[in-house]
Amino acid sequence: MIDFRSPDLSDEKWIKEKISQIDFPTCEYSFGNIYSYTAIMDIGVAKCYGCLVTRCTFRDGFVEYCFPAGNGDTVNALREIIDDGIENGIPFGIFGMNKNDAELLSKHYSDCFDIHYERDMCDYIYLSDDLINLKGKKYQPKRNHISFFEKNFNWRYEKISAENIPECVEMAEKWLELSQHEDKESLIQEFEIIRRAFDFYDALGFKGGLLRVDGRVVAFTMGEAVSDDVFCVHFEKAYSDIRGAYPMINRQFVMNELSEYKYINREDDTGSENLRKAKLSYYPAILADKYEATYINEDYSE
């Protein structure tokens, strides 16, 4: 079996080294996400045939392994994943695959898995210049909302720091209380992840920004670099009754903190119709395809 253990801050260096060997890492491949999500699930990391392997055990008992990352022996790492899943005797799958990953899995272990395209998990990736400048007719609605915000509120932007993190946590908790979303449990879990991310904000190398209106925090966002060219935004919250708060924090954060990065990955839409509409309205430069695989058969061979 693979020697999985809970991720520790001391694992950051080698995990980031493996992630850096991926051509275009998506949101699954970020140390900050791996570490923060331990707030709601059992996550194990391990070195396996020169690859990073991550195992996530959900509260319902289902297990998912992230596709092996790094310039190691991927085929044998996948074989170890299958053996680990079988030995544990629980349902499992593999996630975080791009098209090439899915093809490799199909080539070597097609009899073991049901492999399928997962639109809900595709990452939305934007050019930072587009998010800063919002040029052209297609971005006119965004510019209108931002103009309204600038003209009608006494606002200021701040970089997130140890001093204002408690206010961001308080705002996230208030946002949760006000939310009318039907899946409250998922929002509670998200809040737990956000709180853990803030608890280890500096240690994880996160960057973030917030907006104040009349001195009160009304929006915040944060994330981390996953490569020299790509910054991944993990969380963004704003009060929905303050017109322009969402597009304003989006633009201000990229403008003030992220202009050095070519791409901004704003992660997936989880299948939410409203979130998908919002993310498409920013016209992504890349929609990073994702594939998932569910284990179906114990009879496998190379």
Q: Which CATH number covers residue 180?
A: 3.40.630.30
Give a yes or no: residue 134 inside a domain.
Answer: yes
Average pLDDT over residues 5-33: 95
Average pLDDT over residues 222-232: 96
Residues 180 and 137 occupy one common structural domain: yes
> Is residue 302's pLDDT more than 60?
no
From 57-66, 146-155, 177-186, 218-227, the region with the lowest mean pLDDT: 177-186
Give a yes or no: residue 90 inside a domain.
Answer: yes
> Is residue 11's pLDDT more than 90?
yes
Own/partner long-range contacts of 172-181 (Cβ < 8 Å, ≥24 apart)? 172/220, 172/237, 175/237, 175/239, 178/239
What's the predicted TM-score (pTM) here? 0.94
> Is residue 173's pLDDT more than 50?
yes
> Is residue 239's pLDDT more than 60?
yes
Closest CA to 56 of 7, 120, 14, 9: 7
**Model pLDDT, residue 61:** 81
Residues 39 and 104 occupy one common structural domain: yes
The rounded percent of the chain whose pLDDT value lies above 70 is 98
> Is residue 45's pLDDT more than 60?
yes
Give a yes or no: residue 51 inside a domain.
Answer: yes
Closest CA to 96 of 174, 194, 18: 18
Residues 113 and 56 occupy one common structural domain: yes
**Model pLDDT, residue 138:** 97
Give a yes or no: residue 231 inside a domain.
Answer: yes
- The per-residue pLDDT for range 95-153, each reduced to its tens digit, is 999 999 999 999 999 999 999 999 999 999 999 999 999 999 999 999 999 999 999 99
Give a yes or no: residue 170 inside a domain.
Answer: yes
Give a yes or no: residue 283 inside a domain.
Answer: no
Order across the sheet with 291-295: list the strands.
42-48, 51-57, 63-69, 92-97, 291-295, 113-117
> Is residue 28's pLDDT more than 70?
yes
- The per-residue pLDDT for range 68-89, each reduced to its tens digit, is 999 999 999 999 999 999 988 8
User: What are 268's two structure tokens?
Assistant: 């997936």
First vs last Cα of the chain: how many Å apart?
A: 19
Residues 209 and 237 occupy one common structural domain: yes
- The per-residue pLDDT for range 248-300, each reduced to its tens digit, is 999 999 999 999 999 999 999 999 999 999 999 999 999 999 999 999 966 54
Give a yes or no: residue 301 inside a domain.
Answer: no
Average pLDDT over residues 16-40: 95
Residues 145 and 53 occupy one common structural domain: no
Q: How many Cβ atoms are within 10 Å of 236's Cβ, its own excluded?
A: 18
Element (H, E) at 238: strand 230-238
From 109-113, 230-234, 242-246, 260-264, the region with the lowest mean pLDDT: 109-113
**Model pLDDT, residue 183:** 81
Residues 57 and 105 occupy one common structural domain: yes
Residues 70 and 92 occupy one common structural domain: yes
Residues 188 and 117 occupy one common structural domain: no
Residue 59 — very low, low, confident or very high, per pLDDT cuts 50/70/90?
A: confident
**Model pLDDT, residue 210:** 98
Average pLDDT over residues 5-21: 96
Using CB atoms within 10 A of its CB, is residue 41 exposed (0-12), middle (13-18) or buried (19+)? middle
Instruction: Report the residue count for the chain.
Output: 302
Residues 148 and 108 occupy one common structural domain: no
Residue-range definition of the domain harbouring residue 248: 123-267
Residues 151 and 226 occupy one common structural domain: yes
Residues 230 and 148 occupy one common structural domain: yes
Average pLDDT of every residue of the chain: 95
Average pLDDT over residues 211-226: 98
Residues 45 and 60 occupy one common structural domain: yes
**Model pLDDT, residue 298:** 60
Closest CA to 227 of 35, 21, 12: 21
Distance CA 239, CA 143 (A): 18
Give a yes or no: residue 2 inside a domain.
Answer: no
Total of domains in the chain? 2
